[in-house]
Amino acid sequence: MSSNRKEILYSIGLGIILMIIALIIQSILQSIPEIYFLARFGAKVLSQKIVGLEMGYPLLYAIYIGGLAGIMQELFKYLGVELKPKQFASWIGLGFSLVDIFVLLIDVSLTRLVSIFILLNIIVSLSFHPGTAMLLKYGRLINRKYLFLATAIILHAFIDGGVAYLDILEILIKAKNMYLYTNAYWAIVMVISLSVLLTSWVLINRVEEKQ
C-alpha cells in the first residue's frame, strides 16, 4: 500500500474517531434538560416535562440542539484538519460523514422509517462534512480560522436545528402545511451543503500550505 493511500485511510480513521468523541460529548450536553427535570421532578413526569419544553419553546429548543451539534462536531473537525496537510482535509470530513450515516441507519432500523429523506440525509452528510473540513482548513491557511469556524458552526447548527424544529412543527401544525416547510428546508440544506463542498474545494486549492 502506498504511503499516500495510508495517509488517506489514516485521515478517514481520524475523522471517525473524532466524530465519535464529538457525538458522545454532544449527547451528554443535549441531555442536560432531561437530567435537570429528572433531578427536580423525578422520572414519572420526565417525559411530560421534555415534551412541554419542546412544544412550548420549539425554536429555542431547536437552536440548543443544533447549536451543540454544530459546536462540538465542527470543533473536533477543526482539530482533525489541524493535524493533517490540506489534501487530507476532505478525507477527515468523510470520516465524520461515515459515522453520521451509520447513526442515521441505526435510527432508521429502529424506527423502520424509509423515505426519500434518508437519501437526502446521506447526500447532505457526504457533501457537508468534507466541505466544512476543507473550509476549516482553508480558514487556517489564510489566518482566518475563527471566522470560518464560526461560519461552519452556524451552518451546521441551521441544518441540525432545522431537523429538530421540523419534528416539533409537524406535531404543532397541519400536515398539509408541513409538506411545504419540509420541501423548502431540504431545498435550502441541499444548496448549502453542495455549495460548501464546491466552494471549499475551489478555495483550498488556491492556497499553498507552508511546509
pLDDT in tens, 68-102: 999 999 999 999 999 999 999 999 999 999 999 99
Mean pLDDT by 10 residues, the chain (211 residues): 85 97 96 83 76 82 95 97 94 97 82 72 95 97 96 97 87 73 90 97 88 56
Residue 108 corresponds to which cell in the numbers above?
A: 432508521
Cβ pair 170, 164 in contact under 8 A: no
Report d(CA 103, CA 73) in Å as an integer.
14
* DSSP letter assigned to residue 112: T
What local confidence, expressed as pLDDT, does residue 44 receive? 77
Residue corresponding to grid cell 437519501: 119
Residue 35 corresponds to which cell in the numbers above?
A: 437530567
Report d(CA 149, CA 121) in Å as an integer.
22
What local confidence, expressed as pLDDT, does residue 208 receive? 81
Cβ pair 125, 187 in contact under 8 A: no
What local confidence, expressed as pLDDT, does residue 46 receive? 72
Closest C-alpha among 27, 202, 204, 187 to residue 123? 187
- CA-CA distances (angstroms) from residue 148 to 35, 38, 87? 33, 38, 18
